Homo-oligomer: A and B are copies of this chain.
Amino acid sequence: MTSEIAPPPRLLMGPGPITCDPRVLRAMGTQLVGQYDPFMTATMNETMALYRGVFATANEQTFVVDGTARAGIEAALVSLLEPGDRVLVPVFGRFGHLLTEIASRCGAEVHTVEVPWGQAVPPEMVEEAIVRVRPKLVACVQGDTSTTICQPLDDIGRICREQGVLLYVDCTASLGGNPFETDAWGVSVVTAGLQKCLGGPSGAAPISVSDEAAALIRSRKRVEAGIRDARDDDEDDVRTGSVIASNYFDLAMVMDYWGPRRLNHHTEATSMLYAARECARLLLEEGVENVVARHRLHGDAMAAGLAATGLALFGDQTHKMTNVVAVEIPERLGAAGGDAVRTRLLEDYGIEIGTSFGPLHGRVWRVGTMGYNARKDAVLVTLAALEQALRTAGVPVPSGEGTAAALAVYARAAA
Protein backbone atom coordinates (compact mmCIF):
# COMPACT_ATOMS: atom_id res chain seq x y z
CA MET A 1 0.00 0.00 0.00
CA THR A 2 1.20 3.54 -0.76
CA SER A 3 2.03 5.79 2.14
CA GLU A 4 0.67 9.08 3.36
CA ILE A 5 1.49 11.91 0.93
CA ALA A 6 4.90 13.29 1.85
CA PRO A 7 6.41 15.47 -0.86
CA PRO A 8 10.05 16.52 -0.67
CA PRO A 9 10.52 20.18 0.34
CA ARG A 10 10.85 22.31 -2.78
CA LEU A 11 11.35 25.97 -3.45
CA LEU A 12 9.33 26.44 -6.65
CA MET A 13 11.04 29.24 -8.59
CA GLY A 14 9.82 28.27 -12.05
CA PRO A 15 7.04 29.83 -14.13
CA GLY A 16 4.38 28.29 -11.86
CA PRO A 17 2.85 26.52 -10.09
CA ILE A 18 4.83 27.99 -7.22
CA THR A 19 5.05 27.13 -3.54
CA CYS A 20 1.59 27.52 -2.01
CA ASP A 21 1.08 30.14 0.70
CA PRO A 22 0.66 28.22 4.00
CA ARG A 23 -2.51 30.19 4.72
CA VAL A 24 -4.04 28.82 1.53
CA LEU A 25 -3.03 25.28 2.48
CA ARG A 26 -4.72 25.73 5.85
CA ALA A 27 -7.87 27.06 4.18
CA MET A 28 -8.01 23.93 2.03
CA GLY A 29 -7.73 21.76 5.13
CA THR A 30 -10.97 23.26 6.45
CA GLN A 31 -14.05 21.05 6.80
CA LEU A 32 -16.87 21.23 4.23
CA VAL A 33 -20.44 22.43 4.55
CA GLY A 34 -23.39 21.49 2.35
CA GLN A 35 -23.87 22.86 -1.14
CA TYR A 36 -26.72 25.20 -0.14
CA ASP A 37 -25.77 25.78 3.47
CA PRO A 38 -26.25 29.47 4.31
CA PHE A 39 -22.55 29.53 5.17
CA MET A 40 -21.71 28.12 1.73
CA THR A 41 -23.80 30.61 -0.22
CA ALA A 42 -22.43 33.43 1.95
CA THR A 43 -18.90 32.21 1.23
CA MET A 44 -19.64 32.17 -2.49
CA ASN A 45 -20.97 35.75 -2.27
CA GLU A 46 -17.95 36.84 -0.25
CA THR A 47 -15.63 35.28 -2.81
CA MET A 48 -17.41 37.15 -5.60
CA ALA A 49 -16.90 40.42 -3.72
CA LEU A 50 -13.24 39.66 -3.03
CA TYR A 51 -12.51 38.96 -6.69
CA ARG A 52 -14.17 42.21 -7.72
CA GLY A 53 -11.35 43.79 -5.73
CA VAL A 54 -8.72 41.54 -7.27
CA PHE A 55 -9.93 42.24 -10.83
CA ALA A 56 -10.61 45.97 -10.19
CA THR A 57 -14.17 45.71 -11.38
CA ALA A 58 -17.75 46.39 -10.38
CA ASN A 59 -18.95 43.41 -12.47
CA GLU A 60 -21.76 41.57 -10.66
CA GLN A 61 -20.73 38.40 -12.53
CA THR A 62 -17.41 37.77 -10.82
CA PHE A 63 -17.01 34.21 -9.57
CA VAL A 64 -14.90 31.04 -9.85
CA VAL A 65 -14.96 28.32 -12.50
CA ASP A 66 -14.26 24.83 -11.09
CA GLY A 67 -11.21 23.67 -12.98
CA THR A 68 -7.72 24.85 -13.79
CA ALA A 69 -6.93 28.18 -15.45
CA ARG A 70 -7.45 26.48 -18.81
CA ALA A 71 -11.01 25.63 -17.78
CA GLY A 72 -11.64 29.33 -17.21
CA ILE A 73 -10.36 30.16 -20.69
CA GLU A 74 -12.56 27.53 -22.31
CA ALA A 75 -15.62 28.57 -20.28
CA ALA A 76 -15.18 32.16 -21.45
CA LEU A 77 -14.58 31.35 -25.10
CA VAL A 78 -17.23 28.65 -25.52
CA SER A 79 -19.82 30.86 -23.83
CA LEU A 80 -18.94 33.94 -25.90
CA LEU A 81 -18.22 32.43 -29.30
CA GLU A 82 -20.83 30.86 -31.54
CA PRO A 83 -19.81 28.71 -34.49
CA GLY A 84 -18.80 30.96 -37.36
CA ASP A 85 -18.01 33.98 -35.17
CA ARG A 86 -14.78 35.72 -36.04
CA VAL A 87 -12.17 36.06 -33.31
CA LEU A 88 -8.85 37.87 -33.43
CA VAL A 89 -5.97 36.57 -31.31
CA PRO A 90 -2.74 38.53 -30.84
CA VAL A 91 -0.13 35.76 -30.53
CA PHE A 92 3.19 36.42 -28.81
CA GLY A 93 3.85 33.02 -27.23
CA ARG A 94 2.51 29.58 -26.44
CA PHE A 95 -0.61 30.72 -24.63
CA GLY A 96 -1.74 32.85 -27.54
CA HIS A 97 -1.62 29.65 -29.59
CA LEU A 98 -3.74 28.03 -26.90
CA LEU A 99 -6.41 30.69 -27.34
CA THR A 100 -6.50 30.07 -31.10
CA GLU A 101 -6.76 26.36 -30.42
CA ILE A 102 -9.68 26.66 -28.00
CA ALA A 103 -11.47 29.23 -30.15
CA SER A 104 -11.17 27.03 -33.21
CA ARG A 105 -12.67 24.10 -31.29
CA CYS A 106 -15.60 26.42 -30.49
CA GLY A 107 -16.15 26.57 -34.24
CA ALA A 108 -15.00 30.17 -34.49
CA GLU A 109 -13.19 31.60 -37.49
CA VAL A 110 -9.80 32.39 -35.98
CA HIS A 111 -7.57 35.24 -37.16
CA THR A 112 -4.22 36.10 -35.63
CA VAL A 113 -1.62 38.80 -35.54
CA GLU A 114 1.76 37.43 -34.54
CA VAL A 115 5.08 38.80 -33.37
CA PRO A 116 8.29 36.86 -32.71
CA TRP A 117 8.48 35.23 -29.27
CA GLY A 118 10.04 37.75 -26.90
CA GLN A 119 8.14 40.83 -28.12
CA ALA A 120 4.79 42.44 -27.28
CA VAL A 121 2.16 43.12 -29.94
CA PRO A 122 1.94 46.79 -31.02
CA PRO A 123 -1.65 48.05 -30.46
CA GLU A 124 -1.80 49.49 -33.98
CA MET A 125 -1.24 45.99 -35.35
CA VAL A 126 -4.33 44.87 -33.44
CA GLU A 127 -6.31 47.90 -34.62
CA GLU A 128 -5.42 47.31 -38.24
CA ALA A 129 -6.51 43.67 -37.95
CA ILE A 130 -9.78 44.60 -36.22
CA VAL A 131 -10.65 46.95 -39.06
CA ARG A 132 -9.75 44.30 -41.60
CA VAL A 133 -11.31 41.24 -39.94
CA ARG A 134 -14.28 42.80 -38.07
CA PRO A 135 -14.16 40.19 -35.30
CA LYS A 136 -16.80 39.75 -32.62
CA LEU A 137 -14.07 39.22 -30.05
CA VAL A 138 -10.41 39.95 -29.46
CA ALA A 139 -8.90 37.23 -27.23
CA CYS A 140 -5.54 38.03 -25.70
CA VAL A 141 -3.16 36.76 -23.05
CA GLN A 142 -1.78 39.40 -20.67
CA GLY A 143 1.37 37.68 -19.43
CA ASP A 144 2.62 34.80 -21.54
CA THR A 145 5.02 32.86 -19.33
CA SER A 146 6.43 31.03 -22.35
CA THR A 147 8.23 34.27 -23.31
CA THR A 148 7.84 36.32 -20.07
CA ILE A 149 6.26 39.17 -22.06
CA CYS A 150 3.45 41.24 -20.52
CA GLN A 151 1.19 42.61 -23.23
CA PRO A 152 0.02 46.21 -22.61
CA LEU A 153 -3.78 46.16 -22.70
CA ASP A 154 -4.98 49.69 -22.07
CA ASP A 155 -4.68 50.73 -25.72
CA ILE A 156 -6.11 47.44 -26.96
CA GLY A 157 -9.05 47.86 -24.58
CA ARG A 158 -9.67 51.39 -25.87
CA ILE A 159 -9.46 50.24 -29.48
CA CYS A 160 -11.91 47.38 -28.83
CA ARG A 161 -14.39 49.78 -27.25
CA GLU A 162 -14.05 52.25 -30.12
CA GLN A 163 -14.55 49.49 -32.64
CA GLY A 164 -17.43 47.82 -30.77
CA VAL A 165 -15.49 44.57 -30.28
CA LEU A 166 -15.56 42.42 -27.15
CA LEU A 167 -12.24 41.85 -25.37
CA TYR A 168 -11.38 38.62 -23.53
CA VAL A 169 -8.15 38.47 -21.50
CA ASP A 170 -6.39 35.50 -19.91
CA CYS A 171 -4.34 36.98 -17.05
CA THR A 172 -3.58 33.69 -15.29
CA ALA A 173 0.17 34.21 -15.18
CA SER A 174 0.21 37.95 -14.60
CA LEU A 175 -2.65 38.75 -12.20
CA GLY A 176 -1.38 40.15 -8.93
CA GLY A 177 2.15 40.65 -10.20
CA ASN A 178 1.30 43.19 -12.86
CA PRO A 179 -1.43 45.87 -12.89
CA PHE A 180 -4.78 44.64 -14.18
CA GLU A 181 -7.77 46.96 -14.59
CA THR A 182 -10.88 45.17 -15.83
CA ASP A 183 -13.20 48.17 -15.85
CA ALA A 184 -10.69 50.92 -16.66
CA TRP A 185 -9.41 48.99 -19.66
CA GLY A 186 -12.88 47.92 -20.80
CA VAL A 187 -12.24 44.18 -20.58
CA SER A 188 -15.42 42.17 -21.35
CA VAL A 189 -14.36 38.88 -19.78
CA VAL A 190 -11.20 38.05 -17.85
CA THR A 191 -10.10 34.72 -16.39
CA ALA A 192 -7.19 33.65 -14.20
CA GLY A 193 -5.82 30.84 -12.07
CA LEU A 194 -4.51 30.65 -8.53
CA GLN A 195 -1.11 29.05 -9.07
CA LYS A 196 0.98 32.07 -10.05
CA CYS A 197 1.09 35.43 -8.22
CA LEU A 198 -2.00 34.56 -6.14
CA GLY A 199 0.00 31.96 -4.24
CA GLY A 200 -2.51 29.11 -4.45
CA PRO A 201 -2.69 25.71 -6.14
CA SER A 202 -3.97 25.07 -9.65
CA GLY A 203 -7.61 24.00 -9.77
CA ALA A 204 -9.84 27.09 -9.60
CA ALA A 205 -10.30 29.78 -12.22
CA PRO A 206 -11.52 33.20 -11.06
CA ILE A 207 -13.51 34.98 -13.75
CA SER A 208 -15.19 38.33 -14.22
CA VAL A 209 -17.84 39.01 -16.87
CA SER A 210 -19.08 42.50 -17.84
CA ASP A 211 -22.81 43.20 -17.93
CA GLU A 212 -22.69 43.39 -21.71
CA ALA A 213 -20.93 40.03 -22.02
CA ALA A 214 -23.25 38.48 -19.43
CA ALA A 215 -26.29 39.59 -21.44
CA LEU A 216 -24.80 38.04 -24.56
CA ILE A 217 -24.14 34.79 -22.70
CA ARG A 218 -27.63 34.76 -21.20
CA SER A 219 -29.12 35.05 -24.66
CA ARG A 220 -27.75 31.53 -25.25
CA LYS A 221 -29.10 29.99 -22.06
CA ARG A 222 -30.85 26.64 -21.99
CA VAL A 223 -31.46 25.15 -18.56
CA GLU A 224 -30.92 21.41 -18.59
CA ALA A 225 -33.63 18.76 -18.37
CA GLY A 226 -34.20 17.39 -14.88
CA ILE A 227 -34.13 20.79 -13.13
CA ARG A 228 -36.11 23.00 -15.54
CA ASP A 229 -39.24 24.84 -14.55
CA ALA A 230 -41.82 26.97 -16.40
CA ARG A 231 -39.55 30.02 -16.32
CA ASP A 232 -37.01 28.11 -18.39
CA ASP A 233 -39.55 27.17 -21.01
CA ASP A 234 -40.44 30.86 -21.30
CA GLU A 235 -36.79 31.78 -21.70
CA ASP A 236 -36.33 29.18 -24.41
CA ASP A 237 -38.97 31.04 -26.41
CA VAL A 238 -36.87 34.19 -26.41
CA ARG A 239 -33.40 32.67 -26.81
CA THR A 240 -31.60 34.51 -29.56
CA GLY A 241 -28.20 32.80 -29.57
CA SER A 242 -27.27 29.19 -30.22
CA VAL A 243 -27.10 26.84 -27.23
CA ILE A 244 -23.60 26.79 -25.68
CA ALA A 245 -21.72 23.68 -26.84
CA SER A 246 -20.58 22.73 -23.33
CA ASN A 247 -22.75 22.04 -20.32
CA TYR A 248 -19.96 22.24 -17.74
CA PHE A 249 -18.69 25.53 -19.16
CA ASP A 250 -22.11 27.02 -19.85
CA LEU A 251 -21.59 30.30 -18.02
CA ALA A 252 -25.29 31.15 -18.34
CA MET A 253 -26.07 28.21 -16.05
CA VAL A 254 -23.01 28.78 -13.88
CA MET A 255 -24.14 32.38 -13.31
CA ASP A 256 -27.56 31.07 -12.23
CA TYR A 257 -25.78 28.81 -9.74
CA TRP A 258 -23.73 31.69 -8.27
CA GLY A 259 -26.68 34.09 -8.51
CA PRO A 260 -29.80 34.48 -6.37
CA ARG A 261 -31.63 31.67 -8.18
CA ARG A 262 -28.95 29.17 -6.95
CA LEU A 263 -29.97 26.81 -9.72
CA ASN A 264 -28.15 23.51 -9.27
CA HIS A 265 -25.38 22.96 -11.79
CA HIS A 266 -22.13 21.24 -10.80
CA THR A 267 -21.43 20.62 -7.10
CA GLU A 268 -19.15 23.47 -6.13
CA ALA A 269 -15.58 22.37 -5.38
CA THR A 270 -15.68 23.69 -1.83
CA SER A 271 -12.02 23.15 -0.91
CA MET A 272 -10.87 24.98 -4.02
CA LEU A 273 -13.39 27.74 -3.26
CA TYR A 274 -11.82 28.09 0.18
CA ALA A 275 -8.42 28.31 -1.54
CA ALA A 276 -9.59 30.92 -4.02
CA ARG A 277 -11.11 32.97 -1.22
CA GLU A 278 -7.91 32.87 0.83
CA CYS A 279 -5.78 33.84 -2.18
CA ALA A 280 -7.95 36.91 -2.68
CA ARG A 281 -7.84 37.77 1.02
CA LEU A 282 -4.05 37.64 1.00
CA LEU A 283 -3.91 39.91 -2.03
CA LEU A 284 -6.38 42.47 -0.75
CA GLU A 285 -4.96 42.53 2.78
CA GLU A 286 -1.56 43.45 1.42
CA GLY A 287 -3.15 45.73 -1.17
CA VAL A 288 -3.13 45.14 -4.92
CA GLU A 289 -0.63 47.93 -5.59
CA ASN A 290 1.68 46.74 -2.85
CA VAL A 291 1.59 43.20 -4.20
CA VAL A 292 2.44 44.41 -7.69
CA ALA A 293 5.28 46.53 -6.26
CA ARG A 294 6.58 43.53 -4.33
CA HIS A 295 6.61 41.44 -7.50
CA ARG A 296 8.40 44.23 -9.36
CA LEU A 297 11.05 44.54 -6.65
CA HIS A 298 11.86 40.86 -6.37
CA GLY A 299 11.57 40.36 -10.13
CA ASP A 300 14.05 43.19 -10.67
CA ALA A 301 16.41 41.73 -8.09
CA MET A 302 16.24 38.31 -9.71
CA ALA A 303 16.82 39.69 -13.21
CA ALA A 304 19.75 41.80 -12.03
CA GLY A 305 21.22 38.81 -10.22
CA LEU A 306 20.90 36.51 -13.22
CA ALA A 307 22.45 39.10 -15.53
CA ALA A 308 25.33 39.60 -13.10
CA THR A 309 25.81 35.83 -13.04
CA GLY A 310 26.57 36.17 -16.74
CA LEU A 311 23.27 34.98 -18.17
CA ALA A 312 21.72 36.94 -21.05
CA LEU A 313 18.17 38.07 -20.36
CA PHE A 314 15.72 36.98 -23.06
CA GLY A 315 13.05 39.13 -24.66
CA ASP A 316 12.01 42.75 -24.68
CA GLN A 317 12.81 43.85 -21.13
CA THR A 318 10.58 46.93 -21.40
CA HIS A 319 7.59 44.59 -21.68
CA LYS A 320 8.73 41.89 -19.26
CA MET A 321 6.31 40.46 -16.71
CA THR A 322 7.46 41.42 -13.21
CA ASN A 323 7.09 37.88 -11.93
CA VAL A 324 9.13 35.76 -14.29
CA VAL A 325 12.37 36.22 -16.18
CA ALA A 326 13.87 34.15 -18.99
CA VAL A 327 17.61 33.79 -19.50
CA GLU A 328 19.44 32.12 -22.33
CA ILE A 329 20.98 28.79 -21.42
CA PRO A 330 24.77 29.15 -21.85
CA GLU A 331 25.68 27.87 -25.28
CA ARG A 332 28.34 25.52 -24.01
CA LEU A 333 25.69 23.61 -22.05
CA GLY A 334 23.28 22.97 -24.90
CA ALA A 335 19.70 21.83 -24.27
CA ALA A 336 20.70 18.62 -22.50
CA GLY A 337 23.21 20.43 -20.31
CA GLY A 338 20.54 23.02 -19.49
CA ASP A 339 18.24 20.29 -18.27
CA ALA A 340 21.09 18.72 -16.32
CA VAL A 341 21.66 21.99 -14.44
CA ARG A 342 17.94 22.16 -13.63
CA THR A 343 18.05 18.59 -12.37
CA ARG A 344 21.05 19.36 -10.12
CA LEU A 345 19.29 22.46 -8.79
CA LEU A 346 16.23 20.37 -7.99
CA GLU A 347 17.91 17.30 -6.58
CA ASP A 348 20.82 18.91 -4.74
CA TYR A 349 19.35 22.25 -3.70
CA GLY A 350 15.58 21.53 -3.72
CA ILE A 351 15.01 24.48 -6.06
CA GLU A 352 12.92 24.29 -9.22
CA ILE A 353 13.36 26.55 -12.24
CA GLY A 354 11.78 25.96 -15.67
CA THR A 355 12.58 25.70 -19.32
CA SER A 356 10.05 26.75 -22.00
CA PHE A 357 7.99 25.48 -24.91
CA GLY A 358 8.18 25.34 -28.69
CA PRO A 359 10.97 27.47 -30.18
CA LEU A 360 12.32 28.28 -26.70
CA HIS A 361 12.42 24.72 -25.36
CA GLY A 362 15.97 24.04 -24.25
CA ARG A 363 17.01 27.57 -25.24
CA VAL A 364 15.98 29.49 -22.11
CA TRP A 365 15.49 28.92 -18.43
CA ARG A 366 12.56 30.65 -16.81
CA VAL A 367 12.88 31.80 -13.23
CA GLY A 368 9.80 32.98 -11.37
CA THR A 369 9.45 35.21 -8.32
CA MET A 370 5.77 35.10 -7.63
CA GLY A 371 3.14 34.90 -4.94
CA TYR A 372 4.52 33.43 -1.75
CA ASN A 373 7.97 33.18 -3.36
CA ALA A 374 8.27 36.85 -4.33
CA ARG A 375 10.60 37.15 -1.34
CA LYS A 376 14.17 38.30 -0.76
CA ASP A 377 15.37 35.01 0.73
CA ALA A 378 13.89 33.03 -2.15
CA VAL A 379 15.65 35.27 -4.66
CA LEU A 380 19.02 35.13 -2.91
CA VAL A 381 18.97 31.39 -2.24
CA THR A 382 18.10 30.73 -5.88
CA LEU A 383 20.91 32.94 -7.17
CA ALA A 384 23.41 31.40 -4.76
CA ALA A 385 22.45 27.86 -5.72
CA LEU A 386 22.38 28.57 -9.45
CA GLU A 387 25.90 30.03 -9.30
CA GLN A 388 27.14 26.81 -7.71
CA ALA A 389 25.23 24.56 -10.08
CA LEU A 390 26.61 26.42 -13.11
CA ARG A 391 30.11 26.14 -11.74
CA THR A 392 29.65 22.42 -11.13
CA ALA A 393 28.49 22.08 -14.75
CA GLY A 394 31.70 23.70 -15.95
CA VAL A 395 30.31 27.14 -16.82
CA PRO A 396 32.69 29.90 -15.76
CA VAL A 397 30.75 32.19 -13.41
CA PRO A 398 31.85 35.20 -11.40
CA SER A 399 31.84 34.56 -7.65
CA GLY A 400 29.10 36.27 -5.71
CA GLU A 401 28.17 38.77 -8.43
CA GLY A 402 24.61 37.47 -8.71
CA THR A 403 23.63 37.86 -5.09
CA ALA A 404 25.54 41.16 -4.86
CA ALA A 405 23.57 42.60 -7.80
CA ALA A 406 20.30 41.48 -6.24
CA LEU A 407 21.29 42.94 -2.87
CA ALA A 408 22.12 46.20 -4.63
CA VAL A 409 18.58 46.32 -6.04
CA TYR A 410 17.21 45.81 -2.54
CA ALA A 411 19.51 48.49 -1.13
CA ARG A 412 18.43 51.02 -3.76
CA ALA A 413 14.76 50.24 -3.06
CA ALA A 414 15.27 50.73 0.68
CA ALA A 415 17.16 54.01 0.20
- A residues touching B (Cβ–Cβ < 8 Å)? 1-2, 4-10, 12, 14, 16-20, 25-35, 37, 39, 43, 46, 50, 66-71, 74, 78, 93-98, 100-102, 105-106, 146, 193, 195, 201-203, 224-227, 243-249, 264-272, 274-275, 277-278, 281, 284-285, 346, 352, 354, 357-358
Contact = CB atoms under 8 A, between A and B. Distances in A.
Nearest to A243: B105
B247 A105 contact: yes
Contacts of A16: 267
A271 B352 CA distance: 18
Nearest to A275: B271
13 contacts: A5-B43, A5-B277, A7-B31, A8-B33, A66-B68, A66-B71, A97-B224, A98-B224, A98-B225, A100-B225, A201-B272, A202-B270, A203-B270
Contacts of A34: 10, 12, 14, 17, 346, 352, 354
Contact of A203 (B95, B269, B354): B269
A204 to B, nearest CB: 8
B97 A225 contact: yes
Contact of A1 (B20, B269, B281): B281
Nearest to A93: B226
A1 B284 CA distance: 8
B358 A32 contact: no
A118 to B, nearest CB: 15
B266 A202 contact: yes
Given A66-B67, A74-B248, A227-B94, A269 B201 contact: yes
A146 B226 CA distance: 10
B278 A5 contact: yes
Q: Which 5 A-B pairs have the closest CB atoms?
A: A203-B269, A97-B226, A29-B29, A94-B226, A97-B225
Nearest to A40: B7
Contact of A32 (B70, B71, B201): B201
Contacts of A12: 32-34
Given A68-B267, A203-B66, A224-B98, A32 B14 contact: no
Contacts of A227: 94, 357-358
Nearest to A226: B97
Contacts of A6: 30
A25 B30 CA distance: 7
Given A35-B17, A67-B67, A98-B224, A271 B28 contact: yes
Contacts of A1: 281, 284-285
B281 A226 contact: no
Given A7-B39, A66-B68, A101-B226, A26 B29 contact: yes
Given A94-B227, A224-B101, A19 B7 contact: no
A225 B20 CA distance: 30
A102 B50 CA distance: 32
Contacts of A246: 74, 78, 105, 246, 249
